[in-house]
């Protein structure tokens, strides 16, 4: 996964797009790749990519998001630089799109500049979220997001989890549903995501690529090892 110039993360509300987008961008930066991250989330007011701006800056990741006090606003602001970066850039671009078809509408508005041949569009799936309990609902959601986002989904990321109560069984259960969903769509499951605490166990249970996540998007009390001092609930 992630060999294309542009990686777009879409999916249902609360599926884990922001967490995965942040981890991808930071992993790329750590490997020496120049990365730009674009926050297109106009759906949720908290826990957005922009919340991690200090973390991204420290890692050398460029962030495209509203600036000044507007970074805290619940306004549908799309910074114009995103259009030029989509057209041309020698940097890798990771785009975090807002949830559901509502969030994907912003992506649709950029359809004229999205370089489809250079873009992978990954849809994140958590089958423990109420909006996607099974493959049927997930397939329907993929169709809605593709129609509104005007970009075909090229791969699925299996991200089924229950936060601190995640077990390998929960992840593998979700992987099975993601594979079923992928079969019906004709789209590959490019990775199964797992928290760093459980990733090794998952690797021993599947041949699939495991995307090891360090948890970034979380309230301060849930991150005893990494502390937030800022208002936005991620490491700053």
Partner 1 sequence: MAKKLMKGSEAIGEAAVQAGCHLFFGYPITPQNEIPEYMSMRLPQVGGTFVQAESEVAASNMLYGAAGSGERVMTSSSSPGVSLMAEAISYLAGAELPVVIVNIMRAGPGLGGILPSQGDYFQATKGMAHGDFRLLVLAPWSVQEAADLVQDAFDLADYYRNPVLVLGDGLIGQMMEPVEFREGRLPIKPLEAKTWAATGNDGSKPRSVINSLFLDPEALERHNVHLKEKYDRMVRDEVRFQSYGLDRDYDVLIVAYGTVARVCSTAIDELAASGVHVGMVRPVTLFPFPYQAVREAAARASSVLVVELSTGQMIEDVRLALANSKPIHFLNRMGGMLVSPDAVVDKIRAMADGRSTEVVHA
List the interface residues with partner 1, window 44-63 (CB under 8 A): 44-47
Which residue in 72, 83, 137, 214 binds partner 1 (CB under 8 A)? 72
Query: Distance between CA 57 and CA 50 in Å, rounded?
Result: 11
**CB of 106 closer than 8 Å to CB of 40:** yes
Total of chain residues touching partner 1, rule CB under 8 A = 28
Token representation of residue 25: 């961008």
Q: Which range binds partner 1 by CB under 8 A, 89-97, 109-117, 141-149, 220-228?
A: 220-228
**Min dist. Cβ of residue 4 to partner 1 (A):** 29
1 by Cβ neighbours in 10 Å (0-12 / 13-18 / 19+) ranks as: middle
Q: In whole angstroms, how close is the CB of 143 to partner 1 at the nearest point?
A: 18
Ranges within 141-200 binding partner 1 (CB under 8 A): 161-165
Task: Please report how the helices 135-149 and 100-108 are oriented relative to each other, as an axis angle in degrees rounded to 10.
Answer: 30
Q: Which of 12, 50, 53, 128 binds partner 1 (CB under 8 A)?
A: 128
Nearer to partner 1, 186 or 224 (CB): 224
Output the six-digit token pair for 221: 């009390």
Question: Which residue, 85 or 128, has its beta carbon nearer to partner 1?
Answer: 128
- Please say whether the beta carbons of 153 and 46 come within 8 A: no
Query: Please, is 195 exposed, middle or buried when counting C-beta atoms within 10 Å of its C-beta (0-12, 13-18, 19+)?
Result: middle
Q: How far is the CB of 29 from partner 1 (least distance, A)?
A: 26
Using rule CB under 8 A, residue 140 touches partner 1: no
Strand 119-125: give its sheet, edge to edge: 62-64, 35-40, 92-97, 6-11, 119-125, 155-158, 189-195, 210-213
The residue within the footprint of partner 1, chosen from 80, 130, 169, 186 (CB under 8 A), is 130
Q: Which stretch binds partner 1 (CB under 8 A): 29-37, 53-61, 112-120, 218-226?
A: 218-226
Q: Are strands 189-195 and 210-213 parallel, antiparallel or unpaired?
A: parallel
96 versus 120: smaller Cβ distance to partner 1:
96
Positions in the binding site for partner 1 (CB under 8 A): 14, 44-47, 72-74, 126, 128-130, 161-165, 219-221, 224, 227-233
């Amino acid at each position: 996964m992630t060999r294309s110039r542009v990686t777009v993360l879409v999916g249902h509300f609360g599926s884990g797009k922001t967490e995965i987008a942040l981890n991808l961008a930071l992993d790329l930066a750590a490997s020496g790749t120049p990365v730009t991250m674009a926050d297109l989330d106009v759906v949720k007011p908290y826990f957005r990519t922009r919340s991690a701006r200090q973390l991204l800056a420290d890692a050398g990741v460029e962030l495209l998001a509203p600036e000044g006090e507007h970074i805290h606003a619940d306004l549908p602001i799309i910074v114009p630089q995103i259009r030029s970066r989509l057209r041309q850039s020698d940097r890798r671009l990771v785009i975090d799109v807002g949830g559901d078809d509502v969030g994907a509408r912003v992506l649709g508005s950029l359809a004229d500049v999205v370089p489809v041949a250079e873009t992978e569009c990954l849809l994140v799936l958590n089958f423990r979220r109420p909006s996607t309990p099974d493959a049927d609902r997930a397939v329907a959601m993929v169709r809605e997001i593709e129609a509104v986002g005007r970009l075909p989904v090229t791969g699925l990321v299996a991200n089924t989890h229950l936060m601190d109560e995640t077990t390998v069984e929960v992840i593998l259960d979700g992987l099975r549903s993601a594979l079923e969903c992928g079969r019906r769509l004709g789209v590959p499951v490019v990775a199964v995501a797992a928290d760093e605490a459980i990733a090794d166990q998952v690797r021993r249970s599947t041949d699939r690529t495991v995307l090891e996540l360090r948890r970034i998007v979380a309230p301060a009390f849930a991150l005893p090892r990494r502390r937030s001092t800022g208002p936005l609930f991620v490491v700053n």
